[in-house]
Amino acid sequence: MNEFCELQLSKLISIELTLLIYIFLFEGIGFKHWATHDPDVRYEATNSPSNYVLRFFITACLFLIVGTAQYLIAYILKPLFPHKSEQFVDICSVCNVSLLLFDNSFKGFYIHGKSPYG
């Protein structure tokens, strides 16, 4: 039961990987130079001052793009590598086993394992 609850808390988007990719794009490639008052898109430093609102917008867009890419990759790879909780529910349905799992006194999970094959 404890293992099943831990499997429910697994996440698809890695915060550490998101931050590493963001640092690589923002500092390494030079997306931070897009936030200047220079109208041309440049990847190198200029004498133009930085705009903090534009820097926040670029940061938010980078986080959104990186997070969406991770989610899409996980969604594409999900049929190839299913979670252990999904495998557990599938095996309960194939075996026609229904389970009640409680992790607190008034909280738990119910798996209705009814096979479509009768």
Are residue 68 and residue 86 in the same domain, yes or no?
A: no
> Could you tell me if 72 and 97 lie in one domain?
no
The number of folded domains in the chain is 2
pLDDT tens digits, one per residue of 26-81: 888 888 888 887 767 676 777 778 888 988 999 999 999 999 999 899 889 888 88
Q: Are residues 37 and 64 in the same domain?
A: yes
Q: Say yes or no: 38 and 96 in one domain.
A: no
Helices H, strands E: what count in the chain? 4, 2
**Which residue's structure tokens are 């996980």?**
74
pLDDT of residue 8: 62
Beta bridge partners of 99: 111
**Predicted model pTM:** 0.62
Give yes or no for residue 6 having a pLDDT over 70. Answer: no
Look up the domain containing 9 and give its range: 2-81
**Same domain (yes/no): 62, 73:** yes
Q: Are residues 18 and 29 in the same domain?
A: yes
Same domain, 69 and 42: yes
Q: Give the pairing type, strands 108-111 and 99-102.
A: antiparallel
Query: What would the pLDDT profile of 66-105 be if each residue is shown by its tens digit?
Result: 999 998 998 898 888 877 777 887 888 788 888 887 877 7
